[in-house]
Amino acid sequence: MHIHFVIHEAFEAPGVYLTWAQQHHYQITYSRVYLDELLPKDVKDIDLLIIMGGPQSPATSIDECPYYDSKAEQQLIYDAIQANKMVLGVCLGAQLIGQALGANYEHSPEKEIGKYPITMTHIGQNHPLFSHFGSQLEVGHWHSDMPGLTADAVILAHSEGCPRQIIAYSDRVYGFQCHLEFTTEIIEMLISNTQNDLRHATKYRFVDTVETLRSHDYNDMNQKLCVFLDKLVAMYKSK
């Protein structure tokens, strides 16, 4: 199993996605674009493409961020989907999946930063890869935007602040606006590197203070993410 990560910033680390891959001794490769590492030239040897988050948006230009090429990443995602690979997008990554499939990202009704519950839809609760999530699950958030929806996209989870938290674009392609991969270490990096996001936290309904961010336990959502990943790979191998 070959997993390739596209990582936009050091502080938007893959967290539990990487821990899970290492525990299974999967082959792991990276495009850490903030270090000017190149995107893969093709996807033939990749089984699972994971595109992480970042402060950029799908509309961010190369002039605005010289190491981030949104169009090139969208093409990579499109190629992987066309090759029937597994593709997961987290936050910005989820928005890029929608964009690659012709569905423009949008601003979320509410900014969400911290740990807040998502509610699984009826389809989500009965989805074989997500049935263990239950009807509600507290997960991490750090966003102001949300992915676009294609004609075939199915919303599996929403929150009070955002109607598109988990999206199934196909049985192998999923967008997570939420962050189940967060750990206390990632939270500290985000706090250190995104101070503007946390200013005036009390003015927003779904933005935690620094103290609250540090107090959360992220273990349950981490474990549920790993079960989802195991189910996804098992399904991929069976077909």
Q: What is the mean pLDDT of residues 134-154?
A: 97
Report the number of secondary-structure helices (H) and strands (E) in the chain.
8, 10
What's the pLDDT tens digit per position in 11-48?
A: 999 999 999 999 999 999 999 999 999 999 999 999 99
% of the chain with per-residue pLDDT over 90? 95
Closest CA to 106 of 149, 63, 142: 149
The parent domain of residue 65 ranges over 2-238
Per-residue pLDDT reduced to its tens digit, 98-128: 999 999 999 999 999 999 999 999 999 999 9
Quote the pLDDT of residue 28: 98
Question: pLDDT band for position 204 (50/70/90)?
Answer: confident
Which tens digits make up the pLDDT trace of 183-195? 999 999 999 998 8
pTM, two decimal places: 0.97
Provide the 10 A C-beta neighbour count for residue 104.
12
Q: Over the stretch 155-193, which tens digit does the pLDDT of each residue have?
A: 999 999 999 999 999 999 999 999 999 999 999 999 999
Distances (CA, A) of 46 to 26, 134, 141, 174, 188: 11, 31, 28, 16, 31
Residue with tokens 């499939």: 101
Cα–Cα distance measured from residue 96 to residue 199, given in angstroms and rounded to the nearest whole number? 27
Taking a C-beta distance cutoff of 8 angstroms, is the pair 118, 158 a contact? yes
Using alpha carbons only, what angle is made at residue 77 by residues 74 and 81, rounded to the nearest 5 degrees? 140
pLDDT of residue 142: 97
- Phi and psi at residue 52, in whole multiples of 5°? -85, 180
Q: Residue 88, SS3?
A: strand
Tokens linked to 177: 């606006």
Helical packing angle, 219-238 and 16-23, nearest 10°:
50
Q: Report the domain count for the chain.
A: 1
Q: What is the mean pLDDT of the chain?
A: 97
Residue 194: the pLDDT is 84
**What CATH number is attached to the domain comprising 85?**
3.40.50.880
The pLDDT of residue 113: 96
